[in-house]
Chains A and B, each alone.
Chain A
Amino acid sequence: MHDARRTIPDASSQGVDVSNRSVAVKVERLVMSFGTVHAVGGIGFDVVPGSTVTLLGPSGCGKTTTLRCIAGLEMPTAGRITVGGHVVFDGENGIFIEPERRNIGMVFQSYAIWPHMTVGGNVGFPLAISGVPKRQAEERTRAVLDLVGLGELQGRSAADLSGGQQQRVALARALVHEPRVVLFDEPLSNLDANLRERMRTELQLLQSRLGFTAIFVTHDQEEALSLSDHIVIMNKGLIEQTGTPQDIFKNPETAFTARFLGYSNVFPGRLAAIGDAGSVAVDLGEGRRLSARWRSRSPPRQGADCTIAFRADRVALMPANDPAGGNAFPGVVETVAFLGTCFDYTITSGAVQVQAEGPVDHPVARGQAVSVAIAPEHCHAFAAED
């Protein structure tokens, strides 16, 4: 479990943009064990100042634990964490800086608004603690509340705020003492869809205005893709893949990543042939064969089991036996669902069920025989999952 295969010890080699050579947050070989369970199995990544990094993964993948380790709310088992050039945790040298001395802001999933204080009391708390003179603190509280659009609520009791208001108060509180880094633990998950959309935009605006470094934790891939400069995908306490949203979305490195990013077609297969420049041919059984790009880091081996993945929107449904569909296999349309912007189809081809999307102007009827075609560059092949 201490396998550091997926760690990224050197940021430059992993494509994190470090053009200005400074790093806001640096996590190295971080291990967090609860008894014999390793919640985090030795990971590392860097965060560039002013950027937004998202830790993305299913629940239990260790992303929140990682975030809480950065915050100082958990005592890691081993590793090193540097914030703004200062080592805040070092397992080897026994360094542990208490959370309140790390100058990090944090927005909690539950927002953690203190119900026994006013809105102003909540937001002004960090200033009061650090001994900022009362008048100045009030002004700054007011200013940051204005920033999140709650200026008029300063004197209100915090006990009866709506979800959206609580979220803004939590944000204002995390920002008021101008931390270098702000951590967000699933900040949008408790909001309804509309509000989530708006908050997402507002967060981005705020960040560009204030220039803080943000680390998000979420299990929502859409949220991660839209918010982040950089995404760290985690699985079972380890990093699966890091990269920019486009990068990751286009080129998943593992079947897990592909599945997690919404690749609805993931099938087991066998490597039938290995071409050059990473192109391979995958046998899906019963004569179905697709050309694909090899994405795993380990080199492909002929005859080995593998996994193939492609997105539903990359599937083209051709008339049956259409010779134009080179990388294709035949099937029959089983279900059709109208989704407004597109049609959603299920195509059965022997033991394989393919999800596909089609344009609204060219509907395909249920029961129709079709040819399922996917361009080879959109077909991703990986070494078989354990």
Chain B
Amino acid sequence: MQGFHIARTLLAMTALAAAAWTTVPSALAQQPPALAAITDSAERARVEALIEGAKKEGALSWIGVQIEPGHAEPIIAEFKRYYGLNDLKGEYTYAATGAIVTRVEQLLKAKRNNFDIVWNASWAWYKDLLKRGEIMQYESPHYAAYTLSDKHGMSQKGYWVADAYAFAPVYNTVALEKHGIKNFNPTSWKDFVDPRLTGQVALIDVLISTSAAPVLDGVVKVMGNDWLTALGKVKPTLHSKAAQGRDWVGSGEFAVAMFNSPKDALSLQQRNLPTKQVFPKEGVVLIPFAPIIPKSAPHPNTAKLFVDFVRSAYGTQAMMNAGSLLFFGRPGVKPKYPDVLPSSEEVKAIPFNWDTEATNATIKKFRDRVRAVGIGSKS
């Protein structure tokens, strides 16, 4: 309800601002809200130059995951308004994490990259792009406020700061009751390897997904190897895409979807399905999720402005309000749906080093352990 309230306030402010413009002289009326907020003259000149460049470029092409097309549209609209880029043609392409990597890599290989913003959750790939010099160096002034991102080790100085999302369990109360499981009030990861759940658990395919494997690895680090063994005993069914787990737990095909993102939990809840999301007390692994500008971006000025926008206090809140259920890397963003998404300051994070604990070698080693407890084998 709080989120809703803030949205209303914002809306009112916007309306007021709009009303104010119509009354002020025309020279001032053309000044976009972004410039109005800047006091520092050097910064003002910098932004003005970027806006000039962006007006010439006229377009922004953005590819990403997590932020659904329906949520990206208001963000782009708000961005255009904020910088007065009315004629900008903004295009958002939504794709799965792996698909983004594949397609962007293919475009880079073909030297035909047409994306200005890549917003993915693939740490190793970003590091690789960085090494290959494919990422444009850019330090937005707003990066300084991304203290949580720095704290969790999700920032790359001069290139990006990150928000995060996390996988947490969702369960279907009707499906549980159908299988005779009542009074299921889980608080811990331990509750989700309950033997009574055997055959009722869907788990994202950690043998395939490069983002899910480290997440499970992180949980196992906190819970211990016995927990992994217990997980093997409930015989989880693996699924390749997150949406499958969401739909399965929603329709009651499975009683538990072990790894669900908050946005999926919200989508279930909004459709009045008998599902509940739990953030276990032991914590969750935060998956870094950052916008970068490829060096070959066709509209660099627009891209930089866009990064400024989505890292600013105003932009992050706009994103949250539009439905991007993220743990933002800066403090102060008010969660819009607190029951599926705790605030970034409150969420308990399992410490995880994406540089050392999510390498190909560690993932491979971990997958062998997963196979050893019988996960992924047909019985």
* A adjacent to B, CB under 8 Å: no
Q: Which positions in A face B, CB cutoff 8 Å?
A: none
